[in-house]
Amino acid sequence: MTDLPVPSHCPYCALQCGMAITAEAVISPRTDIPANAGGALCQKGWTAAELLTGGARLTTPLLHGRPVSWETALDHVAGRLSEIRAEHGPDGVAVFGGGGLTNEKAYQLGKFARVVLGTSQIDYNGRFCMSSAAAASSRAFGMDRGMPFPITDLAEADVVLLAGGNVAETMPPFVRHLNGPRLIVVDPRRTATAKLAWLHLQPTPGTDLALALGLLHLAIADGLVDEEYVAARTSGFDAVRTSLAAWWPERVERITGVPVPRMRQAVRALASAGRGVVLTGRGAEQHAKGTDTVTAFINLALALGLPGREGSGYGCLTGQGNGQGGREHGQKADQLPGYRRIDDPAAREHVARVWGVSPEDLPGPGRSAYELLDALGTPEGPRALLLFGSNPVVSAPRSGHVADRLRGLDLLVVADVVLSETAAMADVVFPVTQWAEETGTMTNLEGRVLLRRQAVRPPDGVRGDLELLQGLAKRFGHAFSADPREVFDELRRASAGGLADYAGITYDRIEREKGVFWPCPSPDHPGTPRPFLDRFATPDGRARFVAVEHRPAVEEIDEDYPLYLTTGRVLAQYQSGAQTRRIAALAEAAPEPFVELHPDLAGELEIGAGDLVRVSSRRGEGRWVARISDAIRRDTVFMPFHWEGVNRLTNPALDPVSRMPEFKVCAVRVERVA
């Protein structure tokens, strides 16, 4: 390793802030990456090196809790997989990936599942992240790229509407890009982001779709639609216009709790903006109607003439570090590399040719993430699971049930950096490298492909995920490369001609240009920072309006469960907390989960700050400490999901299109524990 700082990127969110790191694991911010605005890092980024040098690392494979050699562990896993496949068929084995894996790992994992194991049962935790926005964007624009414009465009906007995102805590450097525009925030809580807003709309949980319909109704009624743009660049608006007749403002106010004057203020601000942007985050998307909710916000943006104009548009805030790239290259149940559909004969033929197999030998679509977890260990479901970069015992909805399903497996194999709650249940655990110990590419929330370079030597006994897959593939008679550059070059060939075309992107070019936007089909192509300026990715080049209807949350409040629960993040923790809860400064800043209640509700329930309270839903219960805050609605409680137990309460009801679970709203009861 060189003594000079190696340019790289943060291991956490999809902003992928630029940082440099020395062989001694000293971090400094980079100023040449636009995403983190001149060298900003959040608390998580500044402390990211602690997990590289701390004592929480796994450094040897574990077989039934006992340290063993890599060869022993690989032999055991290969042998058991062969037995299970022989007894239950290829779909008797499942693979579950993660949105934090590099593009190379995500690609190789999808190839391993389909070529080596022959299983259709592969999905990843990104299904819990932005699948609803991906589905809505694909049907509206013909393509899903989280933000189809550079993040720097936001600072030039006049107005930004952010529905269901709390960037001040989830990706703090992002806020620097919001210093210019007037910010409108849609959120049931007065979050740190909402406190920065020019206008805060505070709807009842689960009613974002009704709010979006009401906003578009007002735009039409007040004559604010950009009729010239709609006629020239879209289709389907007449059906949407007709469907909105019933969503008059007063009705929407009754459903959402958002006053009509504030709705009208938001619409007029967006409509009068020379440059306006609509963004959605998990708060609007993690619902059983998330795809339709995002569609309604896209319809609003289209009616106002925003998408496909420089400095304006619609975008989705990708959550996980490689949430964008992680679903583009094959670890999602219904996709092949290049964002190709696995049931498309032409796509199957192209990818099979790159992989050197027959298209007929590739399996079809498998179960989505929660459906896959729910089927584990059942007579009709997989009997073995290989799990990479995920911790569903904490992060999955109805997590107690998911843990039971994992216990019912014949074989659970986990590859991780630390002994997460899920890894602690595994038959075999493989210790693998992490961000600064390996080289690979990530695709950030802008669709910019970035390069993380190895800066630090991994501990003795630790191998990369690509080496792990290579070792298993070899035992099944397949030759897999463990060289990330070689894997990326194969990914480029497999993605060529697809929507997410990486064919013209190389490691050298990424380093030289500080990232390359896909699609980039050839070495002489400049990349595509704004893919919709001339036409959308639909067959006729027009964006599609899609008529949608509001429906209540799957689980409404009642006498037994009279309060809404909504979940989210806190500044010092990340995702399931497997990494951040092991970093001293972050654990001190946010040491435990809590229940946030409005003062009026706390008074009614005779709960004081610091009291222990029991929160119960139809799926489980737990005890947590109460916090009192007027930032939350009186009918709602909030809990951060970084700790085990919180997701025991949440509802696994699925969106019919994206298969996204309804994380963001369920009915609960709260009681003070004597």
Structure-derived torsion over alpha carbons of residues 315, 348, 486, 75, reported in degrees to the nearest 10: 110
Instruction: Clarify whether residues 182 and 206 are in a common domain.
Output: yes
In a domain, 133, yes or no: no
pLDDT score for 51: 87
Instruction: Clarify whether residues 437 and 331 are in a common domain.
Output: yes
In a domain, 623, yes or no: yes
Q: Residue 380 is encoded by which pair of tokens?
A: 């009709």
In a domain, 466, yes or no: yes
CATH code (residue 600):
2.40.40.20
Instruction: Clarify whether residues 25 and 67 are in a common domain.
Output: no
pLDDT score for 295: 98
For the residues 156-168, what does the mean pLDDT come to? Answer: 97
For the residues 270-285, what does the mean pLDDT come to? Answer: 96
- Residue 53 confidence (pLDDT) above 90: no
Instruction: Clarify whether residues 111 and 47 are in a common domain.
Output: no
Instruction: Clarify whether residues 512 and 379 are in a common domain.
Output: yes
Instruction: Clarify whether residues 45 and 115 are in a common domain.
Output: no
Cα–Cα dist 59/600, whole Å: 50
**Predicted confidence band of residue 415 (pLDDT cuts 50, 70, 90):** very high
Cα–Cα dist 237/405, whole Å: 45
- Report the mean per-residue pLDDT for the chain: 96
**Predicted confidence band of residue 1 (pLDDT cuts 50, 70, 90):** low
* pLDDT tens readout for residues 331-356: 999 999 999 999 999 999 999 999 99
pLDDT score for 54: 81
In a domain, 202, yes or no: yes
Instruction: Clarify whether residues 153 and 108 are in a common domain.
Output: no
Domain end (from 317, 339, 364): 317
Contacts of 432 (CB under 8 A, 6+ apart): 415, 416, 417, 462, 463, 464, 465, 468
Instruction: Clarify whether residues 361 and 447 are in a common domain.
Output: yes
Q: How many domains does the structure of the chain reveal?
A: 4
**Predicted confidence band of residue 582 (pLDDT cuts 50, 70, 90):** very high
Query: Is residue 541 packed enough to be buried (19+ CB in 10 Å), middle (13-18) or exposed (0-12)?
Result: middle
Domain end (from 517, 533, 549): 517
Contacts of 109 (CB under 8 A, 6+ apart): 95, 97, 101, 122, 330, 331, 388, 465, 469
Instruction: Clarify whether residues 247 and 311 are in a common domain.
Output: yes
CATH code (residue 40):
2.20.25
In a domain, 153, yes or no: yes
Cα–Cα dist 132/297, whole Å: 12
- Residue 256 confidence (pLDDT) above 70: yes
144-153, 206-215, 316-325, range with the lowest pLDDT: 316-325
- Nearest alpha carbon to residue 282 among 154, 146, 373: 146
Instruction: Clarify whether residues 510 and 581 are in a common domain.
Output: no
Strand ranges (DSSP E) for 174-250? Answer: 182-186, 199-201, 234-235
* pLDDT tens readout for residues 617-662: 999 999 999 999 999 999 999 999 999 999 999 999 999 999 999 9
Q: Is 312 helix (H, G, I), strand (E, B) or coil?
A: coil
**Predicted confidence band of residue 2 (pLDDT cuts 50, 70, 90):** low
Contacts of 288 (CB under 8 A, 6+ apart): 553, 554, 651, 653, 654, 655, 656, 660, 661, 662
Domain end (from 300, 317, 334): 317
CATH code (residue 445):
3.40.50.740
In a domain, 379, yes or no: yes
Instruction: Clarify whether residues 338 and 419 are in a common domain.
Output: yes
For the residues 249-274, what does the mean pLDDT come to? Answer: 97
pLDDT score for 419: 97
* pLDDT tens readout for residues 500-548: 999 999 999 999 999 999 999 999 999 999 999 999 999 999 999 999 9
What share of the chain has pLDDT > 70, as a percent? Answer: 100
- Nearest alpha carbon to residue 205 among 552, 598, 456: 552
Question: Domain of 229?
Answer: 147-317
In a domain, 237, yes or no: yes
What share of the chain has pLDDT > 90, as a percent? Answer: 96
CATH code (residue 185):
3.40.228.10
- Nearest alpha carbon to residue 393 among 65, 582, 650, 644: 644
In a domain, 530, yes or no: no
Instruction: Clarify whether residues 567 and 660 are in a common domain.
Output: yes
Which residue's entry shows tokens 């050197």?
356
